Amino acid sequence: MREVAIIGVGMNKWGELWNDSLRDIYVDAAIEAIKDAGVDHVDGMYIGSMTPGLFVGQEHIGSLMADYLGMKGLPCTRVESACASGGVALKSAFLEVASGHSDIVIAGGVEKMTDCSGDDATYALATAADQEYEVFHGATFPGLYAMMARRHMHDYGTTREQLAHVAVKNHKNGAKNPKAQYPFEVTLEEVMTSVMVADPLRILDCSPITDGAACVVVADLATARKICKKPIVKITGIGHATDSIALHSRESITRLDAVTTAAERAYKMAGKKPTDIHFAEVHDCFTIAEIIVAEDLGFFKKGEGGKGAESGETHIGGRIPINPSGGLKSKGHPVGATGIAQAIETVNQLRGDAGARQVKGAKVGMTQNMGGSGGSCVIHIMEVI
């Protein structure tokens, strides 16, 4: 199996993009990634997108995007794994290059979520939960994660303030990210007094509805060495796993087994352990998600993730910086594109191109992209060489 590197990155400014279509935002991100890579052709493309059919009424987006990118005839496949679609698209591109079938492949992600009503967006997102046993009975993702938060608070003493510290930290980072949907800081008091969504989660504990796209160009290492004018970022570990979609089917709702399993596989492939990771981009769809994920990745003992957020260990400059991009909470969460945006932040950090968000001395980074309430998870470990 060949070694694989990311040689180009591209991402549009995320937010409520009323004047741009699904194809517009994807093509903009793809062109930026191709220019950054400095390539004159690609051999294939994978696009992560959770449910464009429900959000904008458009399926068959592989063909659509190849055509509007000016690459009609290019083999292009849409990839779906709920909110982990982008991460699985990157894994798919990695495998195509690693196998030797192709040398240069685009891995992208896109979602246009604001062209439908709030109720329709809620319905579309809920398709990633168990329809018969959760959604039929009125469960929403804020409600599901609220149950996880309540149980975590009961079992481990996690506090409402610790949840808020995650949001404060991620907005502080996102305020330094020019591509973020919400590039502003929030205070602990603002989070704690924001509108209640599902007790104990308030609106500032929740990631937003977002329009956005992101793309990376991956290549075999030999090609990367010939082309790259910037530091080369190699993908050294990948882990992918699934779990029961429904919370009631799990042994514990304070543990994400898909995350633990995917992490074990990624660490083994990369020959790393949690203490070797210099920073991580994780799936903070809700503040409690970042806390549980940080524990299940091995950065904290079970039940101590909240304390880590409160003490500053997860801040830039802390022991293990988490979500220097601002995370889903501040950067935004166009569900199909999130996993690719995590990879872009990781590449920028490892290249030393993250500006005011730069993690000093970053050489090894991790992305953790998750579908639904943890029914799927894909993890990538990357190193600069």
- Active-site residue numbers? 83, 333
The pairing of beta strand 4-11 with beta strand 233-242 = antiparallel
DSSP string spanning 284-335? Answer: -SBHHHHHHHHHHTTSS-TT-HHHHHHHTTTSTTSSS-B-TT-HHHHH---T
The rounded distance, in Å, linking the Cα atoms of 132 and 135 is 6
Give me the sign of the Cα torsion angle 144, 375, 212, 297.
Answer: positive
- The Cα diameter of the chain in Å comes to 56
Question: What distances in angstroms separate CA 196 from CA 167, 202, 295, one per listed residue?
Answer: 15, 4, 26
Could you tell me the end-to-end alpha-carbon distance of the chain, in angstroms, rounded to an integer?
Answer: 18
E strand or H helix at 216: strand 211-220
Instruction: At 303, list the tokens.
Output: 């039940």
Q: Is 4 exposed, middle or buried (0-12, 13-18, 19+ CB in 10 A)?
A: buried
Which residue(s) pair with 239 in the sheet? 379
Tokens of 374: 């943890």
E strands, the chain, where?
4-11, 44-48, 76-79, 104-112, 196-198, 201-202, 211-220, 233-242, 279-281, 364-371, 376-384
Residues 6+ apart with CB under 8 A from 50: 80, 82, 83, 85, 111, 124, 128, 335, 336
Q: What distance in Å separates the CA atoms of residue 7 and residue 234, rounded to the nearest whole number?
A: 9
**Can you give the C-alpha Rg of the chain in angstroms?**
19
d(CA 176, CA 365): 19
Pairing of strands 104-112, 211-220: antiparallel
Euclidean distance between CA atoms 273 and 267, whole angstroms: 6
